[in-house]
Structure 1
Amino acid sequence: MILASGGIDVVGEAADGAEAVAAVRELRPDVVLMDIRMPNVDGLEATRRVLAHVPGCRVVILTTFDLDRYVYDALAAGASGFLLKDVTPEHLVAAVRLVDTGDALLAPSITRRLVERFAAGDRPRPPRPPAVHRDLAALTPREREVLTLMGRGRSNAELAEELTLSEATVKTHVARIFAKLALRDRAQAVVLAYETGLVSPGDPDE
């Protein structure tokens, strides 16, 4: 499907997680589509290893399991988002292009349900790197607002419309937030927004 879309090269394929890690180390792709359930090394562990060896790579998880424990585990492992396996070809290609730009693939409905699951105590919070100090006091009021909306799954275009800003200005705010809080992408921003209380269950989606 990706080859048929044009403009995206498929540089390799792998039968399981171990092969995926080896292929990424050799081929250095921009984006990896990673299954969850695989023999030898599963997709979550493979994602951790891939990002440890090639930090700039973006991983999108492909799963048949909608919003079960794998969703948070994938984000905690460093994935930039996830797709269900019944995704349309057009959506799949768009997702690859999206994460390649540094964005994260998290729809507002997915974000909301993920936050609610955290709040219910279903998943333990992941340990944070000890060298990283994430202090929301470093953010300006506007940056806190942007982070809150990112935590609810807003894209840059949606942020620009909602805050009456240009997309260029939104991108500047997002970049500053990531730099100040040592965040890699929106997936980490969602988790942090929940953990710091910026986003809470019951918050309106709109």
Structure 2
Amino acid sequence: MSVRVVLVDDHRMFRTGVRAELREPLEVVGEAEDAPGAIEVVRTARPDVVLLDVHMPGGGGVAVLQALAKELPDVRFLALSVSDAPEDVISVIRAGARGYVTKSITGPELTDAVVRVAEGDAVFSPRLAGFVLDAFAAGGTVEAEPVEGADEDLDRLTAREREVLRLIARGYAYKEIAKQLFISIKTVETHVSAVLRKLQLSNRHELSRWAADRRLV
């Protein structure tokens, strides 16, 4: 019996790559590149599992979950994101996702994760499970992690610029960032330049220190 899947990510090349990696019994029955499109596609296709990006236009994965999690209780959501920031993990789990895996996951691992979520399991990349346990043990809050909307400087950045910022701050090379985000090295350089300009920083070292001070790393 097949597991019907909808892919939601704002990068077409990434969706193409995921589709190519997924194996039986998964069947992709729809795709979307933003939150409003995802809501429409999921309502129409009624998949078993939605592979959901966290940062994308239209309100991100949380907006999709807020619109659909209660309306369609039989549809399960698995977050698939480049971000492993605790605040991102907790926000989508609170909104109704059944799991959260990062984009470093392999094709076979992703196929297994989707099947497990379809069967009712909660699935997390190993490092991320601890965030969830700690948060809910503390009453559902994530101490020491900022809410992005509370930082005016961070709000100036697009979702993609925030992803690049976090990866730069964690010491990733431009080539590694390009591979993770399925974009060109030139595009990474463009995003870094935009981040430096918007935050009024001079170099990568200052950017890393800025992110560390806000516990974004």
TM-superposed CA distance for 1:15, in Å, is: 1.1
Which of 6, 12, 15 aligns to 2:30? It is 12
Q: What secondary structure sits across from 2:26 in the alignment?
A: coil
Inter-partner Cα distance in structure 2 for 1:47 and 1:35? 11
TM-superposed CA distance for 1:65, in Å, is: 1.1
1:36 matches 2:54: yes
> Where do residues 82-121 of structure 1 align in structure 2 (5 Å cutoff)?
82-106=100-124, 109-116=127-134, 119=138, 121=143
Question: How does the TM-score come out when normalised to structure 2?
Answer: 0.52
Inter-partner Cα distance in structure 2 for 1:52 and 1:123? 27
For residues 66-102 of structure 1, give each alpha carbon's deviation from its aligned partner in whole angstroms, at most 9, with x where no partner exists: 1320111111001000110121001110011000001
In the alignment of these two chains, the number of paired residues is: 124
Inter-partner Cα distance in structure 2 for 1:109 and 1:42? 22
% identical equivalent positions: 33
Structure 2 residue runs without a partner (length 5+)? 1-17, 147-217
Structure 1 residue runs without a partner (length 5+)? 125-206
Inter-partner Cα distance in structure 2 for 1:34 and 1:5? 18
User: What is the Cα-based RMSD across aligned positions, in Å?
Assistant: 2.3
Q: What secondary structure sits across from 1:33 in the alignment?
A: strand
Inter-partner Cα distance in structure 2 for 1:36 and 1:65? 8
Letter in 2 for 1:121: E
1:48 matches 2:56: no
Structure with greater proportional strand content: 2
Question: How does the TM-score come out when normalised to structure 1?
Answer: 0.54
